[in-house]
Amino acid sequence: MDTALINEFYLMQNSRSNLKYIELLEEHVYQPVQTANHYMTSWMGKRGQMLLKLDVTLYNSYRRLKKKYLRLI
């Protein structure tokens, strides 16, 4: 029975053209993965830029407050 199923699967694979199989793989596997990857990398990039701006702003505020209130006489 197992060999019959294997032969059936082999015949089914051969009946499909390779191009259709590749298109099917690309459409159902690669494209969603690429979309999710693009979404995540752009999200991480935006988050990183936001955090860098926040860091610069906080550092500048810290320097200004330090200069204003913590002067050594």
Alpha carbon distance 53, 59 (integer Å): 10
Alpha carbon distance 49, 42 (integer Å): 11
Confidence of residue 28 (pLDDT cuts 50, 70, 90): confident
Alpha carbon distance 73, 61 (integer Å): 21
pLDDT of residue 50: 97
The model's pTM: 0.51
Region 35-42: mean pLDDT is 93
Q: How many CA atoms lie within 13 A of 60 on its CB side?
A: 6
Please give the DSSP secondary-structure letter assigned to residue 16: S
Q: Report the mean per-residue pLDDT for the chain.
A: 85
pLDDT of residue 49: 96
Both tokens of 14, joined, read 């051969």
